[in-house]
Amino acid sequence: MRIKSISVVLIATMTLASCGTTKTTTSTTKTVTQEITITTATNNIVAKKGEMKEAEIQTWPHTDVFTDSIPGMSLDKAYDFVKNKQGKTVIVGVIDSGIDVEHEDLKDVVWINKGEIAGNGKDDDNNGYIDDIYGWNFLGGEKGQVNPEQLEMTRMVQKWMPRFDGKSADSITEADKTDFELFVKLKKIIDEKNTNATNQVAQYSTIKQFVSKTNDTIQKMLAGKELNLENINALTFEDQTLNQGKMVMMQILDSGATIDDALEELGGIVDHYSNQLNSQYKIDFNGRLSGDNPYDITDTNYGNGYVIGSKDDEMHGTHVSGIIAAKRNNDIGMNGVAHNVQIMALRAVPDGDEYDKDVALAIRYAVDNGAKVVNMSFGKGYSPNAEWVYDAIKYAASKDVLLVHAAGNDGSDIDTAENFPNDSKDKLIEFADNVLTVGAMTRFFDEKIVASFSNYGKKNVDVFAPGLEIYSTIPKNKYKSIQGTSMAAPEVAGVAALVRSYYPNLTASQVKHIIMDSGIEFHKEVVKPGSETDKINFDDLSVSGRILNAYNALLMAEKMSK
């Protein structure tokens, strides 16, 4: 997305009123077994020089680092390796926001519950869910309805308000002291966030209005001429405000964006901060639409089969699903990582923080209905009912299901910072060996290889995968490039599904370690996420110190399966 770059251009140009086992590292440079050679060392690779075309950027995650000098996952080589093999269909559960199962590039790869008869109001397959044709919508609501929600910290403050609001520390009992201190801390954060959001909405609304008004004026003056740098530069104004607007528009066009791009992205920024004010940090807000008690794990009779959500307001789940499995080689849109895949839609992530109950039950639904890989591109810093999710993760492990989780986008070390869900209560010992936590990387095979926003952790992030400028499906048969560890996780989920398709005898734990151990190496210093100048060795950012590689993963799976 260009939101940040365009907004930076505008702010800079204008002066206006003011996101079970001990964790150990393995290291293998080259493994030779019979005719299979797995090469992971990249010491002699020189980063690609020159600008890449837009079409090249849109497919960069699928490139091969050894031939293209771009740190993609060698997907063409992977498919060439299995071209004479017969793969089995793998169901991938996607726990996310709404998924447009009607999308032109997804409709042929969507999981359909063959045991259910659509629209008859009955639980035909007796799985506990009525009319769950494509999966389940744990958020509830009417067809096409969006679900804004609070953040978890806001819900915690809301819960504690009757106990602690207006009280001082010396009036709190010893038993309540820990909760009170956290309440005060979170309440202060929420107040600061609301103040900032109020300022941002005002600032960006003013900028958007200014750009829109200037655009209208200049379009009229051009009288049908093309809106380009040359024609705009030829215009002269005595009014200083219009001169300023002219300069802003030229800056936008010079950045490679269009005026419509800028207005759309400015509108997105306004919506982002408005959502913070109206729901995420609003203490008296209640967004729950499903009619259940979200703090009672036994209250399971809720939700519905409307897995699409709002096509106008929810793109995340659709984008994630396309990365994994958009129909390959159909001359439409783009190619997903994996074929032989069916996407099971599990809508459990609102515009805000997901409830632990929804996540736990979504994992269990995926497991019980045949998924062998589950993608979880979401996360939060507080999890009051984490045990429910831990139990669901253990349940998935007992049923040989691999879970792939995005590491998060705070530029933080999650060996110390909290990040849920996770597979370790103490950040040292894993209570299950079926979770892959994924950091995000860029297309630059140099010190900028790690995405600046990506979380990292020598003990709690397992592997890195492409997560910047990721082109994929969005609702209404459209496509867009987005960034985030949310985009890196489905790259891994797609490779995991590919391995499980051709080597179904391998366990979830084996597939996890194949992906970690077969990745390419990068034994160099990189810019540390969250910093502009600090450096850190790439090996110290994850357990494996590796970058996802589909070809190597299949080679290692071939070896291990024998």
pLDDT of residue 5: 52
Distance of CA 282 to the CA centre of its chain: 24
pLDDT tens digits for 483-520?
A: 999 999 999 999 999 999 999 999 999 999 999 999 99
Q: Is pLDDT at 535 greater than 80 in this prediction?
A: yes
Pairing of strands 30-33, 36-39: antiparallel
pLDDT at 2 exceeding the cut of 50: no
Residue 495: partners with Cβ closer than 8 Å, 6 or more residues away: 73, 78, 337, 338, 515, 548, 550, 553
Report the distance separating Cα 557 and Cα 500, nearest Å: 9
**Three-class SS string for 23-82?**
CCCCCCCEEEECCEEEECCCCCCCCCCCCCCHHHHHCHHHCCHHHHCCCCCCHHHHHHHC
Residue whose tokens read 């389940």:
136
**Sorting pLDDT into bands at 50, 70 and 90, what band is 3?**
very low
d(CA 287, CA 351): 10
pLDDT surpasses 50 at 16: no
The tokens for 395 are: 């349940």
- What angle is formed at CA 413 by the lines to CA 410 and CA 417, rounded to 5 degrees? 80
User: What is the spatial distance between Cα 24 and Cα 487, in angstroms, rounded to a whole number?
Assistant: 25
Dump pLDDT digits (tens) for 233-264. 898 888 888 888 889 989 899 888 899 989 99
234-256: string of b/e by CB count within 10 Å (b at 16+)?
Answer: eeeeeeeebebbbebbebbbebe
Characterize the bridge pairing of strands 535-537 and 30-33.
unpaired
Distance of CA 364 to the CA centre of its chain: 21
**Using an 8 Å Cβ cutoff, are 405 and 455 in contact?**
no
Give the helix/strand (H/E) hosting 10. Answer: helix 3-13
Q: How far apart are CA 348 and CA 294, in angstroms?
A: 12
Average of per-residue pLDDT values in the chain = 92
What's the pLDDT at 48? 86
Mean pLDDT of 74-93: 97
- For residue 143, the model assigns a pLDDT of 95
Phi and psi, residue 551, nearest 5°: -60, -50
Q: With beta carbons less than 8 A apart as the criterion, state whether 270 and 208 touch.
A: yes
Per-residue confidence (pLDDT) for residue 23, from 0 to 100:
60
Cα–Cα distances in angstroms (integers) from residue 114 to residues 110, 133, 467, in the given order = 12, 8, 34
- Comparing 162-166, 253-257, 314-318, the range with the smallest average pLDDT is 253-257
| Residue 349 in tokens | 């992530």
Residue spans of the domains in the chain: they are 51-148+292-561, 153-280
**Residue of 464, 465, 482 lying closest to 473 (CA atoms):** 482
If one counts every other C-beta atom within 10 angstroms of the C-beta of residue 350, the result is 27
**Is the peptide bond preceding residue 529 cis, with omega within 30 degrees of 0?**
no
| DSSP string over 65-125 | HHHHSS----HHHHHHHTTTSPPPPEEEEEEES---TT-TTTTTSB---TT--TTSSS-TT
pLDDT of residue 334 exceeding 80, the answer is yes
pLDDT tops 70 at residue 29: no
- What is the rounded average pLDDT of the residues 414-422? 96
Using a 10 angstrom Cβ sphere, with 0-12 exposed, 13-18 middle and 19 or more buried, the burial of residue 166 is: exposed
Can you tell me the distance from the alpha carbon of 462 to that of 512, in angstroms, rounded to the nearest whole number? Answer: 9
- Report the chain's terminal Cα–Cα distance, integer Å: 44
What is the predicted pLDDT for the residue at 32? 40
d(CA 166, CA 135): 45
CA–CA dist 262, 2 (Å, integer): 9
What's the pLDDT score for residue 42? 86
Using alpha carbons, select from 366, 495, 500 the residue that is nearest to residue 89: 500
| pLDDT tens string 186-234 | 999 999 999 999 999 999 999 999 999 999 999 998 888 999 898 988 9
Q: In whole angstroms, what is the distance from residue 462 CA to residue 184 CA?
A: 34
For residue 102, is pLDDT > 70? yes
Across the strands, what pairs with 93?
A: 344, 374
The DSSP element (H or E) to which 525 belongs, if any, is: strand 525-527
Q: How confident is the model at residue 25 (pLDDT cuts 50, 70, 90)?
A: very low
Return the bridge partners of 437, or none: 405
d(CA 248, CA 232): 11
C-alpha dist (Å) from residue 430 to 23, 194, 423, 528: 7, 37, 5, 25
**Distance (Å, whole) CA 68 – CA 48:** 7
Least confident of 2-16, 85-99, 190-204: 2-16
**448 three-class SS:** coil
| Lowest pLDDT segment from 15-19, 121-125, 136-140, 264-268 | 15-19
Pick the CATH number of 51-148+292-561 from 3.40.190.10, 3.40.50.200, 3.40.50.300, 3.40.605.10: 3.40.50.200
For 440, the enclosing helix (H) or strand (E) is strand 435-441
CB atoms within 10 A of CB 516: 21
Q: Tokens 């659709």 belong to which residue?
A: 318
pLDDT band at 11 (very low <50, low <70, confident <90, very high): low
More confident residue, 404 or 13: 404
Q: Look at the block and give the residue holding tokens 């609102």.
A: 350
Mean pLDDT value across residues 427-441: 97
Residue 554 has pLDDT above 90, yes or no: yes
